[in-house]
Every structure is written in structure tokens, then in C-alpha cells.
Structure 1
Amino acid sequence: MRLGRLLLAALLGLVLVGSLTTAVHADPRWVFYTKDKTRYESPWFKGAHRVMVPYGCTTAPYYSPDSRCRDQRGFHHGLDIAMRCGTPLYAPYRFKVVSNDSLGPAYGDNPLLLRNARLGWDLVIGHTRRVYVREGQVVRRGTMFARAGDSGAPDGCHLHFERRAVGGGLSTATWPRPLLALTPRERP
């Protein structure tokens, strides 16, 4: 009888620890402006993570009303993905790091502007914590080049991915999801 209680207590303890481990990875500042609860993997980052703010018209309060959106909604030019601060980013393609002087403070202190002219894209990555590459550097496939952070982000650790035309500004931003190759994480 006593052994049964000890085993039950141990099992409950393991369940509690497992649920706490999951909770530790959540940032209490995260606010999700999508009903999509899917966790996505990408060759750009380690792990599987949820979308916080999707591309396009959004109810997120950070964006001015846009004529493309009904009900006075704003337009988000990228895709925000919630992830723990320090999550590593990897280069799934070869790219060149170009000057980020054209990017404003909304992208944080260390935004990256990456270019692959051969494949026809620029990629803005905002809210990085640590960057391991420098302007002018050609980054080879597989290289860890930065870590996620919350610089300039009022809603916790995440990364902002924004695909643009080569050399283009914000007005050239297009849906970044295909470039990120987001795939739903398989459930065990």
C-alpha cells in the first residue's frame, strides 16, 4: 500500500515537472494575434515555434490603419515567430549581409538585412539578440549567424522575418512563409 502511494506521488511529480518545463519556455509577454496554435519548424531556426503575428492585415495594435485592410486594421509586412531568447538562427542558403542603415528602430538594435541576389530576395530579420556576422560578409549555408531576442519588441522574445525584393524597401515586402519553409511539427 505504501509503495503504491510512493509510486503515485513520483508519477504526479514527473507530470508536474514536465508541465513546468513547458511553461518555463513561454515568455509571459507573448501575445498571439492568430488562432493558429501550430508549432512550425524551419531551416532558419532551431526548434518548433508558433506564429505571433501573421503577414498581412492584423489586429495587433502596433500598426497604423491600412487601406488594404477592413475595420481599421493595420498591415504587418512580415511574420513574427515566438521563440525563446537565445534561439539560434542558421543559414539555409548562402547570402550576403548588407547594410541595415535603411531599417528603422522598430526592428530592434541588431536587425539583419540579408541578400541572395541569385534567388531574388532580401530578408529582414528583426529583434535579434546577438549577431555573429558583419556587413559585407558572405555567409555559407549551415552557418549559425544570430540568436533570437527581444530588442525593440514590446511583446517578448520573437523574430520578425520580412521578405523584400532585392534592394527594395518596405513597399516591396511579400509573403515570407515560402522562404522560411515553415513545416508543421509532427506530433509523436
Structure 2
Amino acid sequence: MRLLSTLLVLPLLLVLAPAVPAAAEPDPRWEFFTEDRTRYTSPWYGRAHRIMIPFGCTSAPYYSPDPRCRGGRGFHHGIDVAMPCGTRLFARRGVRVVDNGSLGPAYGRNPLLLRNRKLGFDLVIGHTRRVYVEPGDRVKKGTLIARASDDGAPDGCHLHFEQRAVGGGLSTAVWPRKLLKLRPR
């Protein structure tokens, strides 16, 4: 009886196996400018991923020297999280999509600018591939909003997350870790 049930289940498993996503290969272009090798989960994206460039002073060559940083290092106003191209991005909170015209080309061609006035934040998400929302949309928690890309990024597929004050610029950026609910895995 056990052999018969195994023989019946095995073909079903072989049919379903391709539907289960395999672990994605790392992007060979990824460069990490942190010693932190921890993988973090977040309700904003699937699976656990490493931070490529943390918030604050960094040795990453893409940033001009900043007076807040020693040794000619630059300042990174968000965090870059390495993830395969196409990784899905979900709204963690209710937000309104705001026009991204104030954002420069460093965020790619299709960055997201999300606002939650009640909680007092804007969230800039750069290097998105496909965006499923548009300015003016009210987005509910759990909604698929975009996919990760390498658009505008010289160092492979990732997403850039930058938390700002409502309507604020780079000078209002703060560490987005709490907003993203990053948890070590």
C-alpha cells in the first residue's frame, strides 16, 4: 500500500516541482560596501536579502565626499538591498503614490515616491523594473506595487529605500530600517 501511494504521489510532485521557485542566483555585479553579511526579511519584499550599501557614511564610490564623513567618504541617504531582478515589492502600509518628478536620475527611470501623511513619511524606492501603481493612487497594505531592477544602478539588481519627511528632500532623510521592519534571518 505504501509503495502504491508513493507511486501515485511521485508524478504529482514532478508536475508541481517547476511551480516552486528555485533560490535565485546572486547577481555577479553586486558589490557590498558593508561588513554586515546578515540577510534581512521585510514585509515590503519577499525572502531575505543582504544590504549592499547601508544608510550613512560609506566608501561606495558613487557618492561625493560629505563633510559629515571622515576620509573623503560619501553619505548614502537610504539603504540598498540586493535582490534578484523581478523580486516583488509590496506596500507595507497604506500610502498614496506621489509624482516622482522631483527625484533625479540616480533612482532609475521609474522610481516610486510613496507618502503617508498620518505617519509622517515619504518613502522613495529606486531601481524599480515594473511599477503597478501611478501618482494619485491610494494603495492598501499588501498591494503589489513594483518589481526590483538594475535600472540606473551600476552594481546589479537591488532596491533603494529612502525615508524622508513628508514633502522633504535629501536633507530630511533618516535611517529607514524601522519603517521597512527589517528582521535578521
TM range (shorter): 0.7 to 0.9
What residue is the counterpart of 1:116 in the other structure? 116
Tell me whether 1:85 sits opposite 2:106 in the alignment: no
Measure, in 1, the Cα distance between the counterparts of 2:112 and 2:57. Answer: 24
- Specify the SS of the correspondent of 1:154: coil
- Specify the SS of the correspondent of 2:75: strand
Residue 110 of structure 1, CA deviation: 0.5
- Specify the SS of the correspondent of 1:162: strand
What residue is the counterpart of 1:184 in the other structure? 184
Give aligned-pair identity as a percent: 69
Q: Deviations over 1:4-29 (max 9, x none)?
A: xxxxxxxxxxxxxxxxx76x520000
- Specify the SS of the correspondent of 1:135: coil
What residue is the counterpart of 2:74 in the other structure? 74
Where structure 2 has 5 or more consecutive residues not aligned to the other structure, the ranges are 1-21
Where structure 1 has 5 or more consecutive residues not aligned to the other structure, the ranges are 1-20
Q: Once superposed, which parts of structure 1, at least 4 consecutive aligned residues long, lie more than 3 Å away?
A: none
Which amino acid in the other structure matches residue 161 of structure 2?
A: F
Q: Deviations over 1:44-68 (max 9, x none)?
A: 0011000000000000000000000
- Give the RMSD, CA atoms, in angstroms: 0.9
- Specify the SS of the correspondent of 1:80: strand
Which amino acid in the other structure matches residue 114 of structure 1?
A: L
Measure, in 2, the Cα distance between the counterparts of 1:154 and 1:169. Answer: 23
Residue 79 of structure 1, CA deviation: 0.2
Measure, in 2, the Cα distance between the counterparts of 1:102 and 1:149. Answer: 20
What residue is the counterpart of 1:54 in the other structure? 54
Matches within 5 A, 1:99-178: 99-178=99-178
TM-score (norm 2): 0.87
Residue 92 of structure 1, CA deviation: 1.2
TM-score (norm 1): 0.86
